[in-house]
Structure 1
């Protein structure tokens, strides 16, 4: 959501995908590290109760 109130991604799944791609793909490609700050938001809202932090750490190995 922009400060203007405009939301460029209309559905929640589009917003979720953008958030994950930004934190774990685009940012990593540019800076060689994730932009995860460890807040746990992704784990609290995951519809299948996955621990994304653990999963992504394992995938990186």
Structure 2
């Protein structure tokens, strides 16, 4: 995701980490099974995103 406030907007769409506390219509409220199986992950800051992307993806898998 890119854009102004992209991380904040994505975290709003995901919902609270605990699906029991997530707002209706969020990914976690709709699909999560528990706090440990909460269906989706999103980084909380650009620096964290860079670390997590490097951990999960090879450079050849990243476009852009």
Q: TM-score range by the shorter chain?
A: under 0.3
Return the structure number with greater relative CO, CA threshold 8 A, min gap 6: 2
